[in-house]
Every structure is written in structure tokens, then in C-alpha cells.
Structure 1
Amino acid sequence: MPKVASILALALLLLGGVGYFDANADIYRYEDEEGVVHFTDAPTDKRFKIFMRDIKRDRKLRTTFKLARFTRDPAEFEPIITQCAQEFGVDRSLVKAVIHAESGYNPNAVSPKGASGLMQLMPKTARDLKVANSLDPRENIRGGVRYLRFLLDTFRGDESLALAAYNAGLSRVAQYNGIPPYQETRTYVDRVLTYRKSYQTTN
């Protein structure tokens, strides 16, 4: 269960008096129908919104973006990304961010779990998306963007939940009714959204 505190508990936390939350975690909040404000460091409900970001982790993510070394020139895939983003109505910056986080623009990337290509499609997902060759950049990007569209529609445009499902699977997001409490998934969502902001400033 997520660790939830009242406003008073948060105030004490900020003063260093109570250790309710992981010191290296983001803190989220939402106000319910009765005006009660809730805080957590492990949101499982989409009503929670970021309240206080882990500055050290955020800075690290931004530094990672600046220092990243790509296997291939991202500009090489720009026409495919633009075409697929327009076809499925997905923000081009979001597509770039997912590719950046998933493969670092390496079309031949294969994970230990079997995910492959620029957008790291799992074999079953690739089959469902009618992707015959996940290592073909055009097929992979089209399949990945189509899958992103499906996830965005499933979660009514909530990008954080869509990205969490892209990383951990639809069943996990459904199980926890929000972003699963896995550090890998939380970091992934933060990383992709951070990359997206950087791409938005360069587009």
C-alpha cells in the first residue's frame, strides 16, 4: 500500500521531523471531494499529481539526456517518426522520447527479455501489431507508435499511465489502478517525460 500522509505529516516531513517518505522519492498529492489533501510517494491513483520532485534524480535524468551517445544519428529516422506520428496522432516528441529511452536509437537493440528494435517491441506485441521484422526501423516505429496510440486511448490520454503500461504491461497498471510501485517503471516514466520536454525545445 502507498504511504499516505496528511498536510500536517508533510509539514513535519519537510522540517525533518517525520520519515514518512523515501528521501529520494517524488511526492504526489490530490485533494478529495471533502477537501482533504492526501500525499504519497507511491501513487496508485491517477488523481495524484506531482507535488515535489526529487531534485537529485531529476537533475540526473537531465544530465543523462545531455550525455547520451546514440548508436545511429536520430535524424536518420526523423521522416519515419514524423509520418507515423501524424498517421496515429501521437506527439512526435513523445515518440522520440520513447525511442531514446528504449534503445538509444539502436535499431538492432535486443533486450535480455527479447524486446527488440528502436521501440523495443516484445515478440507477442510485435505479432499483435502485425510487425513482421522488429529490426526494420520503419516497421518497428510504426508498430510502436500504433501501440502508444492504443495505450493513450485506453488511459484516456493519460501519458504517464500509457508509458507505465508500455514499460510494465497493461495488466500491472490495471492491477495497481495506476503506475505500478516499481522503481524501474517510475524511473522510466520520469525519464521519457523528461526526454520529451527536451525534444519539444529542439523541434
Structure 2
Amino acid sequence: MKINVHVLGRYGISSLLLAGCCHFVYAGQTIYQLRDSNGSTLLTNKKSRYNHLQVEKKTYYPDSNIHSYSNWGSSEASVLPSYSRNKNAYDSIIRQASQTYGVSEGLIKAVMHTESGFNVHARSPVGAQGLMQLMPATARRFNVSNAYDPQQNIMAGAKYLAWLLKRFNGNTSLALAGYNAGEGNVSKYGGIPPFRETQDYVRRVTSRYQNLYTEGLSTNSISPSPASSQGRIIASSDNYSTGSTTAANIQAAKYQRQIIAQADGSFTDAPAGSYATANATASAKIYLSE
């Protein structure tokens, strides 16, 4: 079978002229099957260049984000040492994206953890870029001009997740499968596609979300810490009672409430000696404005 390949446009292969049939998949593009005057079949993603030919079939191949990703360490929590300092560096953008598009902060961070290990310069062998590993077609779809810019990358990744969650009626597993393998493949197979990479991806992100980020972006330490050590005390109350009346604690504990100005400009009224863990905290946050 003789195949003439015409290289046109920025996509590399724009058309194939062949005297027979050929299996052709082009992610993120519509492929048109045209009939030439000599009876040959023409496959192209540039229909406008062949308006004189009859369209026999057109097929859209959704963009796919499937690519090999790193485990980023032997445990769910670990990342490569060189990027461990970045684990919380983008939390403010994640929070903004969450509020803008209504996607859980923890889910966005779990996807980022799995996709790039918090490496802002990450690039996969198939071209996925940045923290949320956006494929070029996905970046264009969400108007990203620089996929390595954290703000643009995270906002686009969250917007795509929001779109997928809406499409799949809030089913997080299907949304994650769509993020990795393309929404077309999820629809085609009626669920998580039978791709080992995608199935592993969904398990990995879900596990990190449930075990690391289900409480959002909280990264408080487990050890106790006096409230006065968090910042400058700007106001203090008299001792107050917790009101506990359990048999084990008839005598109510006493704490002194304080308003503390922290180094980052925020305020807290955490009582002295309070405890905080990844899953619970005794601290109460307050926000003051002039």
C-alpha cells in the first residue's frame, strides 16, 4: 500500500493520502475522512483546505492527558527532596482557584501532587506541562499563554476539573479519569477507561486526597504550642470556662483567650497550649479589617 504523507501546518501531519484504509488517531482534533476524485481516501484535520472534496465521515478525538508520572517517593506523602520545599508554596493560588471554580482545595492539591510533585517546571514525555500537567490542547482550551506560570496553570487545571465534575454529575473518580485520559474515553467506556495508567492515576489521586488533603490545605503541626509564641498579643480576655460537665472533668478547665497578630498579618484567638493536627484543630481564626 502506497502512502503519501503531506506535512502541513503546525501539527506536523495534516493529511494522509492512501489507497486503502488506515487506523488514525489524533488527540484533541477532529479528523475528516474525504473522498478524492480518483476514489482515494483523504484523512485530514485541515478541512478548509479541501472544501472541494466530499466529507464521508468526521471523528473527534478528545485530548488525552495520559502520561507516565512519578511516584514522588515511597509513601503517599513524600515528594522528591528537591521539590519538597514547594509543597505549600502554591496554597494561596489553590485557595483562589477553589473559590473561583467551586472545586475542593484538597482535590486540586492531590492532583498537583500526583501530576508534578510540586515541580513548576515539570514536563511529561507527551508534552504535559507545569504543576497541573496541562496538555498543550488543554492549555489552549482554557486560554493559558504560559503553562509554566503557576497562576495560569493552577487556575486552568481547577477550571478543567470543575468542567469535568459537572459533566460527570459530581463523580470525582470519573472526573479524575477524564483529567488523565480525556473525557471522550470516559464516555466511550462508560466509566474509568481500562488503561492501567488511568486506573492507577485515579487510585493515587483519590488516596492522596483522602489521606493527606481531605481537610483542605491545613498543614498544622502535631506538637502543642503556646499561643503567645505564634505572634504579638494585641488583646487578652479574662480566664473563661470551657463549660465542660462530663463526669471525667467536673472541674471546668480554664483558658485565657488572646488576640494575636501573626507575622503574616493575620490574626488568631487560639488559646495558650492549644493543639492542632492534620485532622483537627482547637484554634479559631478571626479576621479583622479597618
The 2-side partners of 1:129 and 1:191 are apart by 25
Structure 1 gap ranges (5+): 1-59
1:199 equivalenced with 2:210 (yes/no):
no
- Specify the alignment match of 2:159 in structure 1: 146
- How big is the shift at 1:69? 2.6
User: Aligned AA for 1:125?
Assistant: T
Contact 2:73 2:80 in 1 (8 A): no
- Specify the alignment match of 2:112 in structure 1: 99
- Specify the alignment match of 2:101 in structure 1: 88
The 1-side partners of 2:128 and 2:78 are apart by 24
The structure whose RCO (Cα within 8 Å, separation 6+) is larger is 1
- Specify the alignment match of 1:68 in structure 2: 79
The 2-side partners of 1:85 and 1:127 are apart by 21
- How big is the shift at 1:63? 5.1
Q: 1:142 to 1:61 in 2, by over 3 A?
A: closer
User: Aligned AA for 1:86?
Assistant: Q
Q: 1:136 to 1:191 in 2, by over 3 A?
A: same
User: Aligned AA for 1:151?
Assistant: L
1:49-81 C-alpha deviation (Å, 9 max, x unpaired): xxxxxxxxxxx9995213323524222101000
1:88-114 C-alpha deviation (Å, 9 max, x unpaired): 000000000000000000010011101
Kindly, what percent of the aligned residue pairs are identical?
A: 46
The 1-side partners of 2:130 and 2:153 are apart by 6
Q: 1:74 to 1:62 in 2, by over 3 A?
A: closer
Contact 1:109 1:116 in 2 (8 A): yes
Alignment of 1:172-183 (within 5 A): 172-183=185-196
- Taking structure 1 as the reference length, the TM-score comes to 0.67
For the residue of structure 1 that corresponds to 2:88, the secondary structure is helix
User: Aligned AA for 2:155?
Assistant: R
For the residue of structure 1 that corresponds to 2:75, the secondary structure is helix
1:155 equivalenced with 2:175 (yes/no):
no
Q: 1:62 to 1:161 in 2, by over 3 A?
A: farther
The 1-side partners of 2:154 and 2:72 are apart by 24
Structural RMSD (CA):
1.9
The 2-side partners of 1:148 and 1:118 are apart by 14
- Taking structure 2 as the reference length, the TM-score comes to 0.47
Compare the two structures and name the one with the higher helix fraction.
Answer: 1
1:129 maps to which of 142, 145, 153: 142
Structure 2 gap ranges (5+): 1-70, 219-290
1:189 maps to which of 196, 202, 221: 202
